[in-house]
Amino acid sequence: MEIKMPTLPYAPDALAPVISNKTIDFHYGKHLQGYVNTLAKLIEGTAFAGKSVEDIVREAPDGPVFNNAGQIFNHTFYFMQLQPATADNKPQGRLAEAINAAFGSFEEFKTQFAQAATTLFGSGWAWLSQDANGKLLITKETNANCPLRNGLNPLFVIDVWEHAYYIDYQNRRADYVADFWNLVNWNVVAERLK
């Protein structure tokens, strides 16, 4: 991943009403753009210049470089896995099998993931990742943290910083998480499997 704004694969109003055009304007257009601009400035002339976002996330010490790189990785990962709401939206093939193996069923996975996303205290992210043995697991990460930093292969994420949902859901984080499932492009998630 390069240090630049990703091109969204949908129109800015295509995810409404769960993620409104106004939320995209702020979350993608202001927050993510801010992290991209800040990181570019921070690493100018340093050993991190020219490195991928993933390498910076893995290697940077805790602090501003890591925080901005983490936010670029996490947000790009978040926005690129979405699509307009689709009926009967669920994983297929190898991804469905891996979810069933780890959690018993897609419904049980969603229950456990929603529990992680709604109980995360403060600002952060709920993740589905793959460990070194290929097994899927759910983790909670605060602030800009990312499973890449722990040697995991991230597959799917929900941003539960308030800026992700406050315009559309105010304090109702659980409703945002419940409605989010309709917007997931499971083909993109499946392509992230190793």
| C-alpha to C-alpha distances, 10 to 4, 91, 105, 122, 171, nearest whole angstrom | 18, 20, 29, 29, 26
Neighbours of 180 (CB within 10 A): 22
Residue nearest to Mn ion (CB): 159
Residue 109 near residue 98 (C-beta atoms within 8 A): no
Position 161 contacts Mn ion (CB under 5 A): yes
Strands (DSSP E) along 27-168, which ranges? 124-130, 136-142, 153-159
Position 141 contacts Mn ion (CB under 5 A): no
Looking at the Cβ atoms of 91 and 147, the one nearer to Mn ion is 147
> Least Å distance between CB 154 and Mn ion?
15
Chosen residue from 147, 159, 160, 184 binding Mn ion by CB under 5 A: 159
By CB under 5 A, how many residues form the interface with Mn ion?
Answer: 3
Position 169 contacts Mn ion (CB under 5 A): no
Q: Which stretch binds Mn ion (CB under 5 A): 5-13, 34-42, 98-106, 162-170?
A: 162-170
Q: What are the structure tokens assigned to 130, written together?
A: 């793959």
